[in-house]
Structure 1
Amino acid sequence: MDVLRTANPVWVGSSELTMTLDGITACIDAGAGAVVAKSVNESAAARRQLDIAGYAFVSGDRRVRPTGSADLGDGLLNRSGLAQVELDEWLGVLAAAVEHGAPGNCPVLGSITLGDANAAARIGRAMAAVVPAVELNVGAPHGREARAVRQLTEVDAVHDAVRTVRAAVDVPLFVKLPGQASDVVALARAARSAGADAVGLVGRYPGFLPDLDGGAVLGSWGAWGSPACLPMSLYWVAKTRLALGPGTPLIGTNGARTAADVLRFLASGARAVEVVTALWIKGPGVLADLVAGVEAYLSGRDPEEFAGSALAGTRDYADIPPNPSPAWLPYTAPSGR
């Protein structure tokens, strides 16, 4: 990616795994191409929300797994908050992490989950003094439940927030967008027009799961990520690639658990892919498997040509010729029932 040089396209996304220097350095040492540090913002309420965090790994048949027995195919429903640290202390952590990652060409990014745009600009300006790039998350799924963070789903709101932060940040600015919006491509275009250097697609979705014994899993609403979200994430990556062109760097997120998933993001038009839940399940060591799998597949291929390659020949419905025989026949209900 021209905006930010990295060792490989397998990145670690912002999460509790990247909330400490030890966590960040573990990801660096395991082979991450880049690491996005845990998000912060100006709100004490957002930090307090971490005190009520909850996590439930959910199997394909909607059973909550016992602690420590999650599988890579599981979904994750969670309730979370932001890093509980003052900004000056956090800048010191980021500076140390950046220094640790530099020899292996693994940049460490600062991350801000939007609360107030002017406050985000002040934080971004301070971060830019110690990190090579800043991620602005305007798509936090918890923004629908927690007043301390915001989820922006309207074009003007995204444009205004990005423009405000862009004016204060003199390093590359990456903007992470929600998946639950009427037109994510329009949000990506707005972010770019306001100065975003790259766009992250897409954040997790709001979720809710009754436990059938009374109440709900986690006892609340939550944020949902899953391998089943992968085609939904790839839809917006592919559509944004087509609309904005290969000159817009896209970072995929939400759904990648295996090397094949990372490659599907790249084939859809992403230039890098953030993974989180696979590390929660398998530990940072899974990064070596992901990187090796991606590199093995791309060996002998031009990564630039592979990026977006799945879009070649992909057609709109109106341009698809009729099937030679009715494809829907196997899906009709059996007679007599």
Structure 2
Amino acid sequence: MDVGGLVAAGPVWVGSSELTMSLDGIVACVDAGAGAVVAKSVNESAAARRQLDIADYAFVSGDRQVRPPGRAYPGDGLLNRSGLAQVDLDDWLGILAAGVAHGAAQGCPVVGSITLGDPAAAARIGRALADVVPAVELNIGAPHGREARAVRQLTEVDGVRDAVRTVRAAVGVPLFVKLPGQASDVVALARAARSAGADAVGLVGRYPGFLPDLDGGAVLGSWGAWSSPGCLPMSLYWVSKAFQQLDVPIVGTNGARTVTDVLRFLASGARAVEVVTALWIGGPAVLRELVDGVAEVGDDFVGSALAGTREYADVPPPPSPAWEPYTARWMSSGR
């Protein structure tokens, strides 16, 4: 399959995370059947690398209870604080080259990733990555950009256009741009990225999060980045809107844990879907389950949900108000 000029083995991809921060991790993801693997992000900032020293992770149950370390379940949300790969660029290029060679033997491309700091520096790094990897992901939607000075999150059209244009001029391989989900108009950001030369867009990055522990502090002791199965409809909102309004391949992110979740991303218009947290919880076997679960899905399935979806003004009223059963049950409950 082709996504923005990148030939991948399938639509289930492993996203950038600590799981893809080493050659062993990249190889494990390739061997588990990933359609593509996005390596851990890098940038020019030593502060972004040092931030990994204070990384922390909290899995949160559906009733908002924090799990003990090492215990998590598929429906849990993840609140975390993270940083970038702690490796010099030259060493990282060697790791990526080895990962690319391993993936190529199985038809699985390994993609380099940059989390934006300074656009000019991102362009220099992108040029170096493009000599090694078949595609580059530029992450300008990192939620940590709201807390960590070493990375940036762009939520305005002009900023997105300028940053993508700068990196595009330096990168001679397919360029994927990962966008945030909490901007006022994510479709406008995707349009700006496309007009500046993005070959595909990733929708959407995780959301900022905060959870008090009620003992006078907060889970993680700070703010963090949040993802959960509950984020799925929010992610699919922007995927479906971008698919409907733009001509750009979409890589779905944030909220896919199960085969059904991946299928919903595809039906909403994503050509491929990145997963991370599901693998943290369930290991490589989960990836194989996801890959097998979508193996028979054809290109015509992508965006198929939009055929039966209407704007509010075009929805016909039902025979009786949909809210009646809910209000009737409340009125009869004794309040």
**What are structure 1's unaligned runs of at least 5 residues?**
none
Structure 1 position 214, deviation (Å) = 2.2
Aligned residue number for residue 72 of structure 1:
74
Aligned residue number for residue 274 of structure 1:
274
* Amino acid in the other structure paired with 1:317: Y
Aligned residue number for residue 111 of structure 2:
109
Residues in 1 aligned to 2:267 and 2:145: alpha-carbon distance in whole angstroms: 30
Residues in 2 aligned to 1:206 and 1:215: alpha-carbon distance in whole angstroms: 17
* Amino acid in the other structure paired with 1:282: G
Structure 1 position 260, deviation (Å) = 1.0
1:172-216: CA deviations, max 9, x gaps? 000000001000000000000000000000000000001122211
Aligned residue number for residue 305 of structure 1:
300
Residues in 1 aligned to 2:317 and 2:288: alpha-carbon distance in whole angstroms: 45
* Amino acid in the other structure paired with 2:195: S
Indicate if the aligned counterparts of 1:260 and 1:294 stay in contact, CA closer than 8 A. Answer: no
1:247-296: CA deviations, max 9, x gaps? x1100000000111111100000000000001101112311111111115
Aligned residue number for residue 284 of structure 2:
284
Structure 1 position 136, deviation (Å) = 0.0
Alignment of 1:187-336 (within 5 A): 187-245=189-247, 248-296=248-296, 298=297, 303-332=298-327, 333-334=330-331
1:154-188: CA deviations, max 9, x gaps? 00000000000000000000000000100000000
Q: Secondary structure of 1:118's partner?
A: helix
Aligned residue among 23, 26, 44 for 1:24? 26
Q: Secondary structure of 1:312's partner?
A: helix
Aligned residue among 7, 22, 40 for 2:9? 7
1:44-93: CA deviations, max 9, x gaps? 00000001101000000001111222001000000000000000000000
Indicate if the aligned counterparts of 1:177 and 1:184 stay in contact, CA closer than 8 A. Answer: yes
Percentage of matched positions with identical amino acids: 81
Structure 1 position 119, deviation (Å) = 0.1
- Are residues 1:50 and 2:55 paired? no
Residues in 1 aligned to 2:261 and 2:7: alpha-carbon distance in whole angstroms: 22
* Amino acid in the other structure paired with 2:77: G
Indicate if the aligned counterparts of 1:141 and 1:203 stay in contact, CA closer than 8 A. Answer: yes
Indicate if the aligned counterparts of 1:137 and 1:175 stay in contact, CA closer than 8 A. Answer: yes
Indicate if the aligned counterparts of 1:58 and 1:75 stay in contact, CA closer than 8 A. Answer: yes
Residues in 1 aligned to 2:145 and 2:181: alpha-carbon distance in whole angstroms: 13
Aligned residue number for residue 92 of structure 1:
94
* Amino acid in the other structure paired with 1:258: T
Structure 1 position 330, deviation (Å) = 1.8
* Amino acid in the other structure paired with 2:301: F
* Amino acid in the other structure paired with 2:86: Q
Residues in 2 aligned to 1:121 and 1:240: alpha-carbon distance in whole angstroms: 26
Residues in 2 aligned to 1:19 and 1:143: alpha-carbon distance in whole angstroms: 19
Residues in 2 aligned to 1:190 and 1:207: alpha-carbon distance in whole angstroms: 27
Q: Secondary structure of 1:104's partner?
A: coil
Q: TM-score, normalised by structure 2?
A: 0.97
* Amino acid in the other structure paired with 1:259: V
Residues in 2 aligned to 1:278 and 1:326: alpha-carbon distance in whole angstroms: 39
Runs of 4+ in 1 over 3 A off after TM superposition: none
Q: Secondary structure of 2:124's partner?
A: helix
Residues in 1 aligned to 2:166 and 2:35: alpha-carbon distance in whole angstroms: 29
Aligned residue number for residue 141 of structure 1:
143
Q: Secondary structure of 1:195's partner?
A: coil
Structure 1 position 99, deviation (Å) = 0.1
1:103-154: CA deviations, max 9, x gaps? 1110000000000000000000000000000000000000000000000000
Q: Secondary structure of 2:280's partner?
A: helix
Q: Secondary structure of 1:149's partner?
A: coil
Residues in 2 aligned to 1:61 and 1:305: alpha-carbon distance in whole angstroms: 38
